[in-house]
Amino acid sequence: MKSRFLLIPAYALVISAPVQATVYLSVEQAQAVMFPGASFTPDFVTLTPEQMKAIEKASDVNVLSPTLKVWRVSTGGWFIADQVVGKHEYIPFALAIDAQGAVKAVEILEYRETYGDQVRNEAWRAQFTGKTKDAPLKLGNDIKSISGATLSSRHITDGVKRLLTTYDLVLAHSNH
């Protein structure tokens, strides 16, 4: 009895979901949208291990990187480009903080996940406007969750909370 084998190339066995990698705004475009007419001075910061621990303790959110991409804004305030983990991929986002330490705006710079890009919805992002480090920033409490984008909305919320805490503990009192 002869056995027959069907040879299938290895690449044909790889099944993957389509990845939606969309760049919405560059850092420069986000700066122009969030602080129209302002100029920006880079003020990148490397957090010390002590600062990272203090931020994590105060925000209850892990610091992913000690490097902060921060710009001082000529009209007052700060622009921060950062990222959080979505379900599988990083979600680069930008946070605009006004001169009083409140959220001016949140922008999603890129989205690479297959699902959950509803976090780009302007009404959802507007929930952060005016929030400070004293806001609870709890998903399902003062920030509404998005059905089908629960992890993305939770992680963006945590990222904003972490950056507001970082602003309060590091940037607001710095002379960089």
Using a pLDDT cut of 90, give the percent of the chain over it.
Answer: 68
| Each residue's pLDDT tens digit, 140-154 | 889 998 888 888 999
The answer to whether residue 12 is domain-embedded is no
Residue 139 has pLDDT above 50, yes or no: yes
Q: Name the amino acid, one letter, at 58.
A: A
The answer to whether residue 92 is domain-embedded is yes
The answer to whether residue 143 is domain-embedded is yes
* Virtual torsion, Cα 105, 103, 22, 17, nearest 10 deg: -140
> H-type helices in the chain, by residue range?
10-13, 27-34, 49-59, 122-126, 150-166
The distance in angstroms from the start CA to the end CA of the chain is 80
Which domain covers residue 98, as residue numbers? 19-171
The answer to whether residue 11 is domain-embedded is no
DSSP state of 139: B
| Pair of tokens at residue 139 | 């998903």
The answer to whether residue 43 is domain-embedded is yes
SS3 state of residue 53: helix
| Pair of tokens at residue 100 | 């009083």
| Each residue's pLDDT tens digit, 46-66 | 999 999 999 999 999 999 999
| Each residue's pLDDT tens digit, 19-32 | 557 889 999 999 99
Residues 6+ apart with CB under 8 A from 149: 115, 116, 117, 118, 119
**How big is the chain, counted in residues?**
176
The answer to whether residue 6 is domain-embedded is no
* Number of domains the chain is built from: 1
The answer to whether residue 72 is domain-embedded is yes
Q: pTM for the complete prediction? A: 0.86
The answer to whether residue 13 is domain-embedded is no
